[in-house]
Structure 1
Amino acid sequence: MASAASMGVAVRALMIVLLFVMVAAFANLFAVDGYISCFDFSSRWGVKILMEFSVYTVVMGAWFFYKESGWIKTIIFTLSIYFLGSLLSIGYILLQFFKLSREESSTNPLYFVLARHHTREHTSRIPVVTVRAIFSALLFLTMGALIYTLIKDISGSYDDSFTKCFLANMTDLYIHAVMFAVWIAYKESSWTTATLWIISLLFFGSITLCVYIVRQLFSISPEKPASYIIFSSSDICEPLIAPHANV
C-alpha cells in the first residue's frame, strides 16, 4: 500500500501544478481581453474545440453525479465547467483529496478519491446499456466534428483565424487530458497498455477517451453497475468496493 499512498501524493501534487498552470492561462486570457472569444465557435477549429470540451465535461459530470447523487447539483457543476474549465475540475478533485482521512490517504487514496463516501438510497441506477449508447453517440459526434473541421481547414473556408482564447482552450483541453491519463494509468495493470492509451489520448483527445470508456462499458455485464468502470480491476475485487455495489 506504500506505493499506492506515494502515487496519491504524486497525483495530488500534479493536480496542484495543473491548477497553477490553468490559473496562469486564465490570467493571460483576461490580460489580452479574450474571454468572450472563448464562445466564438464559428472561428477556426471552434466546433472541434467545443465538441472536445463537451466530451470531457460530460465525463466529469458523470463522475460528479456518481459522487454526489444529485441531478440539480450535477447540472450546475457541468454547466459551470463551460465557464471555469479545468479550474473547476481540478478544484473538485483536490477537494476530494483533502477530504480523505489519514487511513484512506495511507492505503488507497486514488480509490477513495474516485469512490463516493455514502450509499445511494431510493435512487434508480442508470442501466449499463444506456450509458453505452450515450458514450457511443458521443464517440460518433466527436469523430464527425473532427472530420467536419478537417474538411473546412483543408478547404480554407474559415473566415477567421484562431481566437485569442485558442491558447487557453488548448491548455484547458490538455489539462483535462492529463487528468484522464492519470485515471487510465490507475485502471490499467500493464504500464505498456496504459502508455499506449495515454499517448493516443494526448494525440486524439476525446475520441480516444470515448473509445476507452465504451470498451470498459462493454467489458462489464449489463447486471453490473456502470460505475464499476471507474475503478481498477484489483479494487473491484477487493472488499473496498462492496459499499458501492448498489450504484
Structure 2
Amino acid sequence: MVFQTWVVYKEGNWISSIFWVVLLICLGSATTCAYIVSKLFEITSSGLSQNPLDLLLLRQDNLPERKCSFVVIGRTIFSILGILMAALVTYTVITDGLPFRKDLLTPWMAATLIDFYINIFAISVWVVHRESTWISAVIWICLLICFGSITTCGYIVVQLLQVSYQDPVYHLLLNSHSKYGIAPLQKI
C-alpha cells in the first residue's frame, strides 16, 4: 500500500498510475525496483545540486490545488491499515500458532520473504532519509524487519502527526531539514 500510494502521488496521470499500481500488486518488489530505477533515470544532471533522494521522492510538476487535507486522509488510512494488520497477525497467531513450522517452509514462502525484505530495504532508505539520527533510524528499521506493515503504517502515522494538516503531503517524504529549506545535517 505504501508504494502504491507513492506511485499515485508521483505519477503525472491516472493511466500511468493505474499501470504501475497493477504491476506493484502483481509483481511486488520487482516492480518496486523497476519503478525506482526508472525514476532515477529521469533525474537530470541539472537536478543533482538538490538532494537526489528528494528528487526521487517528490513530484517534479506542480500539484493541483487541493480540496481536502491529504495529511488527515493519510493519517486515517494508515492508522486503519496498521490496526487491521495488527489484529490480523494477532488473530493468526492465536488461531494457528507461530509461523516457524517446517510445513510452512515452501518455495512460495521463500519468495514471499525475499519480496518482503526487498521492499523493507526500499522503505528503510526513506526512513534513514527522514530520521535525524542513526539510532532512531536503526530502531525503526529493526521494527520494520520484525513487524513489517504494522511498523510501516505506524511510522507513517507518526510522521503524519508531525506534519500540520495544512502542510502539503510531500512534507511526509522529506527529511526534517530539507522540508524547511535547510541543508541536511550529517547523521551521527
TM-score, length-scaled by structure 2 = 0.86
Task: Quote the sequence identity (%).
Answer: 34
Distance in 1 (CA, whole Å) between partners of 2:141 and 2:62 is: 32
Q: Distance in 1 between matches of 2:177 and 2:46?
A: 19
Structure 2 residue corresponding to 1:235, chosen from 171, 178, 181? 178
Q: Does the 8 Å CA contact 1:69/1:120 hold for their aligned counterparts?
A: no
Q: Secondary structure at the match of 1:233?
A: coil
Q: Matches of 2:50 and 2:165 in 1, distance apart?
A: 30
Report the CA distance between 1:153 and its aligned residue: 2.7
Q: Distance in 2 between matches of 1:92 and 1:154?
A: 36
- 1:130 paired to 2:73: yes
* Structure 1: unaligned runs, 5 residues or longer: 1-57, 241-247
| Bigger mean CA offset, 122-131 vs 228-237 | 122-131
Seen in structure 2, the aligned counterparts of structure 1 residues 219 and 137 have a Cα distance that, compared at 3 Å, is: same
> 2: CA distance between counterparts of 1:181 and 1:70?
27
Where does residue 88 of structure 1 map in the other structure?
31
Q: 1:122-201 residue pairs with structure 2 within 5 A?
A: 124=67, 126-154=69-97, 161-201=104-144
* Structure 1: distance between partners of 2:70 and 2:154: 19
The corresponding residue for 1:39 is none
Deviations 1:39-80 (A, max 9, x none): xxxxxxxxxxxxxxxxxxx11111112111434433332222
Q: Is the alpha carbon distance of 1:122 and 1:129 closer, same or farther for their aligned partners in structure 2, counting shifts above 3 Å?
A: closer
Q: Does the 8 Å contact 2:69/2:166 carry over to 1?
A: no
Give the structure with higher Rg (CA): 1
Deviation (angstroms), 1:107 = 3.9
Superposition deviation, residue 166 in structure 1? 1.0
**CA-CA distance at 1:220 after TM superposition:** 1.2
How far does the alpha carbon of each residue in 1:126-163 deviate from its partner, in whole angstroms, 9 at most, with x for none?
5321211100000011101211221233299x9x7454
In proportion to residue count, which structure has more helix? 1
Name the TM-score, length of structure 1 as normaliser: 0.67
The equivalent residue for 2:47 is 104
- RMSD between aligned residues: 2.4
2:11 to 68, 76, 79: 68
CA contact 2:58–2:170 (8 Å) conserved in 1:
no
- The answer to whether the 8 A contact 1:125-1:225 is kept is no
Distance 1:175 1:230 in 2: 19
Give structure 2 stretches of 5+ with no counterpart.
184-188
SS at match of 1:227: helix
SS in 2 for 1:189: coil
* More relative contact order, 1 or 2 (CA 8 Å, 6+ apart): 1
